Amino acid sequence: MNTRKFNGKTSADEVVAKLDLVNTSVIVTGANTGIGFEAAKAFAHAGARVVFACRSAQSGEAAVDMVKQSYPNSQAEFALLDLADVTSIKNFAESLTLEKIDILVCNAGLVTTKYQATRQGQELTVGVCHFGHFLLTKLLMPKLLAATAPRVVMVSSESHRTPGKLDFARFPLSETSFRFMVAYGQAKLANVLMANELQRRFSEQGLTACSLHPGTLITTSIGRDSILMAFLMKLISPFTKTPQQGASTTMVCALGDAQAVAGQYYSDCQPAKMSDEAANPDVAKRLWELSEQWCKTVT
């Protein structure tokens, strides 16, 4: 794949054009809408077996139906996954029928303007975007490593640059310290750090991990729990990327040359510079160890 020709205007469909992904197994979290849906649809169009991992059965099944209407022979399927609930994550991993996972796209995310918590009592934004995805990846690792060249793609954001430092004393935020943009920045920083640490820990076993910024304020359902956020997303939609364009960087990270994307942060389908904090291996190691400890307490 010649990724040099791709840019911020490229669509997900253009990235997969002429690719044959038959015998490739893919999981996309949050695949029922927005860039997650467009990425999952593009994988399916290219022949991959794609699991649409979504917290809503109704919208997840509807997304699969839409893909099959467009591509009747596609191997698209729905599986229930609520990243805000450890039990749901465990059930998803245990019921998965895939023998191997070639590509895991950790796409699901959200931002809430008011404090909310996961089923296990964590601040919701970080709980879903980081801890939920961390546990999911940990449970799926045997099937990832069963693939010849597995890849984990973390959908982050330029918001990973703020905060400039990950304050572990305030991670995740409490109800009294909650600021929604701080929580979102923490979550997106954790996405980049997790990808980097995955690359360091599992590269010798053939796994490639990377992270990306899909585009500025792409109109998705990320603000689904806030009327204000939903209104603002609608308001700015004429000036942003389409979900198809936003999903293109996901596709490049998932399907581009492994050596080119390994441990990298991408934006507009090209390598970009991550923040100094995101690139700090000591911070990534500390976050990994904290996340491992959390997994032990909930499983």
The residues carrying an active-site annotation are 184
Q: What length is written for the chain?
A: 299
Cα–chain-centroid distance for residue 150?
15
Q: Are the beta carbons of 140 and 103 closer than 8 angstroms? A: no
**Is residue 33 a contact partner of residue 221, using CB atoms and an 8 Å limit?**
yes
Determine the Cα–Cα distance for residues 195 and 212; give it in Å rounded to an integer: 10
Six token digits for residue 252:
């490049």
Is 160:188 a contact under the CB 8 Å cutoff?
yes
Q: Which residues contact residue 227 at a Cβ distance below 8 angstroms, ignoring those fewer than 6 apart?
A: none
Burial class (CB in 10 A: 0-12, 13-18, 19+), 223: buried
